[in-house]
Chains A and B, each alone.
Chain A
Amino acid sequence: MPAYTFDRRTLLAGVGGAALIAGVGSLSACSKSSDSGKNTATANSAVKLPTYIAYTGVKPDLPGTEQGVDPAFRNYPKDRPKSVEETPGNGETLSGMANIYYAVPPGPSKNSYWAGLNKRLGLTLDLQMVGNADYTQKFATTIAGNDLPDMLQMQVVANFPALLEKRFTKLDEYLAGDAIKDYPNLANIPTRTWKSAVYNGALYGIPIPRGAIGAYHFIRQDLFEAAGLSPEPKSYDELVETGKALTDRKKRRWAYGLINQPRQLLGRMNGEPNSWRNEGGKLTNTYETEEYKQTITDLIAMWKSGVIHPDAFNPAQPFKQLFNAGTVAINAADGYPGWTQYILDNASNPNFKLGLMPSYKRDGSGLAHWAYGSGVYSITGLKKQDDPEKIKLILRVLNYLAAPFGTEEHMYRLYGQEGVDHTVNSEGNPSLTKVGTANTVLPIRYLADAPYAIYQPGRPQDADTQHDYQSLEIPTGISNPTVGLFSNAAATKNPTADKNFTDAINEIIQGRKPFSTMDDLIKTWKSAAGDEMRKEYEEQLQKAATPR
């Protein structure tokens, strides 16, 4: 069968050959460094993190909270103060690589937005944009080929600390403590997120901050209203009834899309930990809990009742499109920035109404706990450079790209030039033009970004909806105790072990394997990766006063 295969030739041409041809000998001669050598909890907890200096130049309509509720803006601020006074560059060229979720935009010669950005930065930004699905492989081959760009969106891979030590710049002297005051927009990035950039007892990158909320339970409010259903089912029984009422196979409508979505919703309802439960330094993984077993029991019943889309086990299912089409009514676990995308995708549908569903405990006695996200999308690593001035130049550029919401730089970064990339209504809200929609999707937001602010152009009510929802859910939240810790077993062994485990669980849900096999599956997962991960995490938790 003449199909594309990951065969010997492809693999070797892609990696082995590339590494050989690209000159693997260029690395400095030393033995393979050990991860455990420098990346210790003691060394990492001693790192001085950058001082947090919040940006106060713009006042939100609804304030953020220390607990993690994002500030919300009903309209884009009309006064747009400048947050960067001096042009960062002086005619240099800087390269960068990041992933992209959209069609790659035209280059600077045909893209006035990109050309304008280069002008504002005072340099030429040379960007490699890689489709999200291919980023892991591209990252590996970029590392293998030793052809690193100046700024690189990092992936946590096998022996990550050693990789950082070999190829990337320690940033402590530029950013630790008050040194970050030279880059005020980077100083506006919350302290907790910098912990994700600490390895080997040093700071190795710029975090891309994300909210504490991580993901929303999106619902098609219009479908709920049409069926006369409450968007707040207050117990497991009510949730089941709601799912049944929303499902109408003849109309090609199901309550849920991908299997993992009701799994997360039920997990919260049943009180599962946020990945790991920390009891006095002892960790228990979600998979090992009775709550998880309850979730799988519930999922089996749900699957049998037919409220989940029949193709729910196909990870390639276009769940966003199904949600937009009304084929799926509850999109139970999607990133919160999806709000903007759903609104844009359904701009031509006057009936479309987006809502957010709170999750309640199984017995309906109150809100279920929320599982906080990691708070970081990724970190941006800076290639090792001989010249410290080059590092400062890159940091000035990243400082520009991290301009906070409401500033003049942020407005340009997201919406480009008025009259070309966007138009502005009487309230001061920008609306992207067709040109702007295509041109402004440069993945610079994955090289540096400001803390998230809730805002939906032209829909002030959306700011209230999201802010209310976050205010309701965030106080119930629990953290994943391993966020900010590094486990080599998690990076190397767990992807395979976890896939084996979840694939087998999916077979149990579909009735192809008996429920009784779960204990064996858990045992297998533990011996393949789980116990080693636990050991690595526990060592770090116990040695450090606080997780770094």
Chain B
Amino acid sequence: MRTDADAAVSVHRTPRRLGRDKLLLLLGLPGGLALILFHYVPLLGNVIAFQDYQPYLGILESSWTGLTNFSFLVDGNPEFINALINTLVLTLIQTVLVFPVPLVLALLLNSLAGERLKRLLQSVLYLPHFLSWVIVVALFQQMLGNAGMLNTFLVQHDLPIIHIIGVPELFKALITSQAIWKDAGWGTIIFLAALSRIDQELYEASAVDGASGWQRLWNITLPSLRGLFILLLILRLGSSLSVGFEQIILQQGPVGRDASEVLDTWVYNNGILGGNWGMSTAVGLVKGVVGVFLVIGANKLAHVFGERGVYEK
């Protein structure tokens, strides 16, 4: 148990430790200032969620509107509800299908024996991450679009064309596959780093004991990655209601809004286009609060199951 005497010693030690670590503190100072300036000070701007904010009037002169900007939460607006449902469905799909893909890919890459092949594959898989969504969407359009390469080939061979892009029923599958293609390779980095830290002697010992490859994966590799996997999953929950703005808005035209409207595009279409900054911020604020609760809740759940989570108890 920590006593008053311990606390007194700690207080006495603090200035000494500050003096000892002053170089480190100085090095960290610019980063800390940037964090405060660009991540915490802007949080104060959340007040515009309670205002009829006009940029030329600023926060001080814009009129206060109370909770009017949050009316979307209770007024049963069918477009908002449609956007919310689409967002939740996409969140679920992406959590179940997109999130584990980098892990699987990392395991496959890790199982490759040839180092050169492994590096080549890694480079190829990383590449799409550096392309903007505009390029990725254009590539898919050129390949799979109604006038794209695939359909041009089919038409030229008198075969029926296949509608992939611009079909509302396939929209969620399309954007999910685009997300996997673009970022799954990049997501393997952190898992490959974790894999490289697993003690090789465990594998050797299990091999000597006659464990098969599958058993080694199940009993050594996956348990070693479990903490990291849960950590990333919890962090992901924090932004789970942001399912991709640019990717969706670029492809919204052909499929219509019933199938493609999500919270981010709803905010853009209803708030930003009409200069309704207050409402846009209100939606952002709600998303942020929901994200915080999800992270805290998931972290507590992780503790219940004996994991460390994002932070310890």
Contact = CB atoms under 8 A, between A and B. Distances in A.
Given A8-B285, A166-B57, A311 B147 contact: yes
Contact of B57 (A13, A27, A506): A27
Interface stretch (A17-25, A235-243, A272-280): A17-25
B42 A12 contact: yes
B44 A19 contact: no
B46 A157 contact: no
Contacts of B183: 1-2
A19 to B, nearest CB: 5
A7 B242 contact: yes
A19 B60 CA distance: 10
Counting chain A CB atoms within 10 Å of each CB, which of B43, B147, B269 scores highest?
B147
A6 B254 CA distance: 21
B245 interface: yes
A314 B254 contact: yes
Counting chain B CB atoms within 10 Å of each CB, which of A20, A249, A254 scores highest?
A20
A144 interface: yes
Nearest to A327: B147
B110 interface: no
The B interface, classified by DSSP as helix, strand, loop or mixed, is helix
B21 interface: no
B275 A157 contact: yes
Nearest to B42: A17
A534 B297 CA distance: 50
The A interface, classified by DSSP as helix, strand, loop or mixed, is helix
B247 A3 contact: yes
A3 B54 CA distance: 29
A524 to B, nearest CB: 10
Contacts of A12: 42-43, 45-46, 281, 284
Given A8-B288, A17-B45, A143 B257 contact: no
Interface in B258-272: 258, 264, 267-270, 272
A424 interface: no
A163 interface: yes
B232 to A, nearest CB: 11
Contact of A21 (B41, B62, B156, B273): B41
Interface in A487-506: 491-496, 499-500, 503-504, 506
B68 interface: no
Contacts of B168: 512
Interface in A233-267: 249-250, 252, 254
B199 interface: no
A162 B288 CA distance: 33
Counting chain A CB atoms within 10 Å of each CB, which of B57, B134, B138, B183 scores highest?
B57
Contacts of B288: 7-8
A27 B61 contact: yes
Contacts of B53: 16
A313 interface: yes
Interface in B261-313: 264, 267-270, 272-277, 280-281, 284-285, 287-288
Given A5-B264, A20-B45, A32-B63, A143 B56 contact: yes
A158 interface: yes
A315 interface: yes
B103 interface: no
B139 to A, nearest CB: 13
Interface string B163-179: 00110100000000001
A431 interface: no
B246 A27 contact: no
A140 interface: yes
Contact of B264 (A7, A17, A30, A158): A7
B55 A496 contact: no
Nearest to A165: B56
B244 to A, nearest CB: 4
A2 B99 CA distance: 10
A412 to B, nearest CB: 36
A162 B275 CA distance: 14
Contacts of A2: 183, 186
B59 interface: yes
A31 interface: yes
Counting chain B CB atoms within 10 Å of each CB, which of A5, A11, A316 scores highest?
A5
Contact of A311 (B39, B79, B141): B141
Contacts of B38: 13, 17
B234 interface: no
A25 B60 CA distance: 6
B239 interface: yes
B128 to A, nearest CB: 12
A420 B300 CA distance: 69
Interface in B158-198: 165-166, 168, 179, 183, 186
A315 B270 CA distance: 18
A504 B257 CA distance: 8
B152 interface: yes
A252 B45 contact: no
Interface in B93-152: 94, 98, 133-134, 137-138, 141, 145-147, 151-152
A418 to B, nearest CB: 39
A9 interface: yes
Contact of B58 (A19, A140, A496): A19
Given A8-B285, A12-B281, A17-B44, A499 B273 contact: yes
Nearest to A254: B147
Contacts of A8: 46, 281, 284-285, 287-288
A143 B63 CA distance: 18
A495 B273 CA distance: 6
Interface string B25-47: 00000000000011101111111
A496 B59 contact: no
Contacts of A3: 133, 179, 242-247
B253 interface: yes
Contacts of A510: 256
B253 to A, nearest CB: 5
Given A8-B281, A315-B253, A512-B168, A167 B56 contact: yes
**7 nearest A-B pairs in the assembled complex, by CB-CB distance:** A16-B45, A24-B58, A17-B42, A310-B146, A8-B284, A158-B275, A144-B55
27 contacts: A5-B242, A5-B264, A6-B267, A6-B272, A8-B46, A8-B285, A9-B39, A11-B284, A13-B42, A15-B48, A16-B45, A17-B38, A17-B42, A17-B43, A17-B45, A24-B58, A32-B54, A32-B61, A140-B275, A157-B275, A252-B147, A314-B166, A316-B253, A492-B274, A503-B256, A504-B256, A506-B256
Given A3-B244, A167-B56, 16 more contacts: A1-B247, A12-B43, A15-B277, A17-B41, A19-B48, A24-B60, A27-B57, A310-B147, A311-B166, A311-B254, A313-B166, A313-B253, A314-B253, A492-B274, A500-B257, A507-B258
